[in-house]
Amino acid sequence: MLISVLSFVIGLAGALLVAFGSWLVFEPAGYIVGGVLCLLWSFMSARAIAARRFEARRAQRGEG
């Protein structure tokens, strides 16, 4: 549990630092990088939820 929370916090801090660093170079780039990171996070979360549901349905049917 602690490892997963720590991993999330470090990942979030890294994303914020990348967006802030790009903002320091060129202000609109910071917003673009932040938006791209949010889109990637959303995609990865939806994919993980779908995979979890797929595995649950597969287990209910007795496959694999």
CB neighbours of 52 closer than 8 A, spacing ≥ 6? none
Count of structural domains, the chain: 1
Average pLDDT for 17-29: 95
* Structure token pair of residue 35: 């938006």
The residue type at 30: G
CB 64 within 8 A of CB 58: yes
Average pLDDT for 9-34: 94
Distances, alpha carbon 49 to alpha carbons 18, 28, 32, 44, 53, in Å: 26, 32, 26, 9, 6
Q: Which domain holds residue 23?
A: 2-61
Average pLDDT for 37-56: 92
Cα 43 to the center of its chain, rounded Å: 7
What's the pLDDT score for residue 64?
63
pTM of the model: 0.77
